[in-house]
Homo-oligomer: A and B are copies of this chain.
Amino acid sequence: MTSLTVSTQDTADGAPAEADLPSFDTVRAAAARLEGVAVRTPLLEAPLLNERLGCRLLVKPECLQRTGSFKYRGAYNKISALPDAVRKNGVVAYSSGNHAQGVAAAAQVLGIAATIVMPADAPAIKMANTKGYGATVVTYDRYTEDRAMIAETIAEERNATIVKPYDDPFIVGGQGTVGLEIAQQAAELGVTPDAVLVCCGGGGLVSGTALALTHEIPGIPVYAVEPEDFDDTKRSFETGRRESVDPNARSICDALLSERPGRITFALNRKLLAGVVTVSDEEVRRAMRTAFTDLKVVAEPGGSVALAAVLEGRIDIKDKTIVAVISGGNVDPALFAEALAS
């Protein structure tokens, strides 16, 4: 854990009112919109891994989702819920990775224009994929320009809607369908999970998943997992305010590098989560190898933190049934090969 973290208090805006927060109904409505549109990813398990761990581990592989991450769920839910007259003007998003692809693909399926603001030095493959889904990509210099400002200018010019990466009830609701499916699939297997672990960047996936799971299985402990130098949600839990990460913090988990928790996501997570744990980059690489060896899925670094927390025993797993979400699989071949070799 870093000692360089800067404590930036949540002064700009207070916590949202309870009535403004998404509810279980938000997730249920999202599930109806996503029916037949998003992949209902299976729950995977590997008997030999279970034996090594001394628990029953069920993995929800969102790397098998359309666009290779869960982000498609929230993006599609948000865009499809817009009134027709608003949606037809298109959408704008800023992201260097999975959200970009999720928004681009959802917009393509819904037949509207998408403009994605991406850093000029974003990985070529992610930019190519985003364009591949028919989106217009606008680049900016991440060291001198403000991407949110650029996105807002474009949105205003075109009367288009900005699709935020996590701090939006429809995004949280869409990601929450992961939790709803976990509850349903566990019931189909005849088991009740003792704990569920979910990665946490801005907190959209874990808050939505907790929203669904705590409704369906009251009292179930849901944990957020962060990279150790990006432990803003962990520290925010400690202080009760939205804390920011050190600008110099680094991690291989490129999908989880958000600066601080969202307003909505933090309000939900404070209420719903059992706790927050962290993992190191080396532990993430080990989890990527385990996903490869035992589960046969491609997990990107940020997608592997929940699995890493299980493998490293960050919570008590002995003789329990544990669910871990692998949130995405968009990783460069070279980085993946390096993780396999390390």
Chain A positions near chain B (C-beta within 8 angstroms)? 39-42, 44, 46-48, 51, 61, 63-64, 66-68, 105, 108, 125, 129, 132-133, 289, 292-293, 295-298, 329, 333-334, 336-337, 340-341
Contact = CB atoms under 8 A, between A and B. Distances in A.
Given A39-B42, A64-B296, A333 B48 contact: no
Contacts of A41: 42
B64 A42 contact: yes
A96 to B, nearest CB: 18
Contact of A64 (B66, B133, B297, B333): B297
Question: For the complex formed by this chain, how many copies does it contain in all?
Answer: 2
Contacts of A296: 61, 63-64, 68, 297-298, 329
Given A42-B42, A129-B48, A132-B48, A292 B333 contact: yes
A63 B61 CA distance: 13
A340 B329 contact: no
A48 B47 CA distance: 33
Contact of A298 (B42, B67, B297): B297
A328 B66 CA distance: 22
22 contacts: A39-B42, A40-B42, A41-B42, A42-B42, A46-B66, A47-B66, A47-B67, A47-B105, A48-B129, A48-B133, A61-B296, A64-B295, A125-B293, A292-B333, A296-B297, A296-B298, A296-B329, A333-B340, A333-B341, A334-B341, A336-B340, A337-B341
